[in-house]
Structure 1
Amino acid sequence: MLLAKNKWLSLGALALAIAAPLHGFATEQKSVAVTAIVEHPALDAVRDGVRAVLAEAGYEEGRNLKWQYQSAQGNTGTAAQIARKYIGDRPDAIVAIGTPSAQAVVAASKSVPLVFSAVTDPVGAQLTPSWEASGTNVTGASDKLELERQIDLIKRILPEAKRVGIVYNPGEANSAVVVKELKELLPRHGLTLVEAAAPRSVDVGSAARSLVGKVDVIYSNTDNNVVSAYEALVKVGNDTRTPLIASDTGSVERGAIAALGVDYLDLGKQTGRIVVRILEGEQPGSIAPQTSENLELFLNAGAARKQGVTLSSELLESATKVIE
């Protein structure tokens, strides 16, 4: 009798062990599709931050989460193809990293939940009508920076500077809005803006060279073409002793002198928390777009020496991270 009883207990436990995961899979399975306009350290950090928060919330790939990721490799046509493919898959949420990818998803669907990230100006990019909860299928986390603080950083590092150069892609909405705002703000600080267009990543080096001798410093925003090819900008800066100041802290590790910017892993986690809210039942249109207040100052002392700049002890002491 004892043997028979143990046999039935064992069979019952086995049945429960089999049924439990099947039940969980059937009722909890979620799908998140991630698209990025290009791969570079900042955007990759956003993706990794989203994934980390989903894992912390109990969404495990292969168990109760279907995770997709594709990069458009800087091509807006490819971004549109990825968006259409994802819309056809009908995921629980699409995460679009970078303005062109977010615009591609918005153009393809007005119903599938979209969470944008690393978008400088979602209103200017026509992703949302305002910074309030939109009532649409779109929300997200922006990397918008207060440009007054960026100008202050330039003046702290180069107090004698008069001409600020910028290399950017005129076709990228987040870059176009930054250039427009800089044109208005810089003259108030005794500075002028000199532009150089780089419609493709391969144009970044030649655009930077066109600024040599015309500017005292080159400032780079979070333009995806520029950030993905930042080494080309660094080569020009080092070869011609033209100081480089960025808004992306990852660019400091790659050769810019300084950046006061968003922690993109943190921005990814912020984005991930929005995705979790949607997976748990909230509508994207009820969640107002967010910005990050977590700014960090990164300095590169070695790059400063190569580009002919001396960093003050006060500036060095105020930095979050100093790279030698």
Structure 2
Amino acid sequence: MKKKMLLSVVMSALLVTAAGCGNAKDTSGSGGTSDKGGDTEKKSYKIAISQIVEHPSLDAIREGFLAALKDAGISEADNNLRVDTNNAQGDQANNISIAQKMAADNNDLILAIATPSAQAIVKQEKETPILFAGVTDPLNAKLVSNLEKPGGNVSGVADMNPKAVTDLMGFIAENFPNVKKLGLVLNTGESNAVLMASKAEEALKPHGITLVKAAVTNTSEIKQATESLVGRVDALYITLDNIVVSGADTIIQVANAKHIPFFSSDRDTVEKGAFATVGFKYYDHGYQAGKMAVEVLKDGKNLGDMEVKMQEKLDLILNLKAAKAQGITVTDAMKEKVQDKDNDIIE
């Protein structure tokens, strides 16, 4: 009996020792959880993603971000990544709740897609690295106070190059001499949208073109706002406005039905049916953010020491099918302005 009891105690001790050699939080400074065995070490990571609303541009950011991680050997398929994806569906109360939940969780990194998501997370979380993407003006949104060295736990990729706005307004003025009033459907509650509207207005003034605004607060108001501009403006335009972009189909329908040229600030809306933009692929934008995440997770870099990046490669993007639907004659001069004609002239 004593021998059996002694054997039982020994076995219990061995089990406790074995359990203690399982997963342990990595304290090496490069983040993640370590699974150690012999001389090998495999790290796993937990990332939370907050996205304000679902639309093609923001979805493409998420896809590009995860692709960059996968290319660096970090993915759910590799069994070394857990992703907690959250979508606020355009509701600010949901957005705040998501931020509070993420702040309470133990994440290695948080990706905030779009300005409202980033603002909510930054208010709640002061330690976990916060990477933003799809943010137009990080300074105006008070996400960072310095673009070159943000400090703290926040940095990311800005999705607006002011040159894109100026170039698009110049393209409209040069190629559409009949446009004297440009209609803008605008969510005045979104700071990045208001900022871009101001830059567009400034760029249009030298050309004698007036920006006429129709305000909305949610997607259900977009149709009425767009229709209110019909007969009052010569063309339509939208900024990188998350609420408005998510309801762009409605604007496309009105533009096609009334043969009004429709210009957007993002490539995805042009692919859906707007006529033109000066921009880039949001998948590439997300991939750029993902590469920053890899530097934090694998190399142990401090996100606050990493400069906020900006999209430098811009091109004019034209949708020829949309042009036909909106009564636009696409000239050779317009096409000549497109650098990558194989990819940025959409048939």
Q: TM-score, normalised by structure 2?
A: 0.84
For residue 324 of structure 2, what is the amino acid of its counterpart? Answer: R
CA 1:27–1:89: 2 relative to 1, 3 Å: farther
Displacement after TM superposition at 1:322 (Å): 2.5
- The 3-state SS of whatever aligns with 2:237 is strand
Contact 2:132 2:155 in 1 (8 A): yes
2:295 to 269, 277, 280: 277
For residue 138 of structure 1, what is the amino acid of its counterpart? Answer: V
Q: Structure 1 stretch 300-309 or stretch 193-202: which is displaced more?
A: 300-309
Separation in 2, partners of 1:122, 1:245: 24
1:103 to 102, 113, 119: 119
Q: What does residue 321 of structure 1 align with? A: 344
For residue 179 of structure 1, what is the amino acid of its counterpart? Answer: A
Q: What does residue 68 of structure 1 align with? A: 84
* Residues 110-145 of structure 1: per-residue CA shift (max 9 Å, x gap): 222110001001111111113221111110001113
* Residues 132-173 of structure 1: per-residue CA shift (max 9 Å, x gap): 211111100011132211212222441331111111111111
* Residues 11-33 of structure 1: per-residue CA shift (max 9 Å, x gap): xxxxxxxx9x9427975111111
Contact 1:143 1:262 in 2 (8 A): no
* Residues 205-247 of structure 1: per-residue CA shift (max 9 Å, x gap): 1111111111111111111111111110011111111110111
Separation in 2, partners of 1:78, 1:257: 33
Contact 2:53 2:87 in 1 (8 A): yes
Gaps of 5+ in 2: 1-21, 23-33
Point out the structure with max Rg over C-alpha: 2
2:256 paired with 1:238: yes
1:77 to 93, 115, 139: 93
Alignment of 1:204-215 (within 5 A): 204-215=222-233
Separation in 2, partners of 1:189, 1:47: 38
Q: What does residue 13 of structure 1 align with? A: none
Contact 1:121 1:142 in 2 (8 A): yes
* Residues 21-48 of structure 1: per-residue CA shift (max 9 Å, x gap): 9427975111111111111111111101
- The 3-state SS of whatever aligns with 1:133 is coil
1:93 to 96, 100, 109: 109
Contact 1:168 1:197 in 2 (8 A): yes
2:160 paired with 1:141: no
Q: What does residue 295 of structure 1 align with? A: 314
Separation in 1, partners of 2:304, 2:288: 17
Contact 1:227 1:251 in 2 (8 A): yes
How many aligned positions are there? 305
- The 3-state SS of whatever aligns with 2:36 is helix
CA 1:184–1:303: 2 relative to 1, 3 Å: same
2:140 paired with 1:124: yes
For residue 300 of structure 1, what is the amino acid of its counterpart? Answer: N
Determine what percentage of the aligned residue pairs are the same residue.
Answer: 38
- The 3-state SS of whatever aligns with 2:84 is strand
Q: What does residue 278 of structure 2 align with? A: 260
* Residues 70-129 of structure 1: per-residue CA shift (max 9 Å, x gap): 111111211111111111112111000011100110111222211000100111111111
Separation in 1, partners of 2:277, 2:198: 20
Contact 2:52 2:113 in 1 (8 A): yes
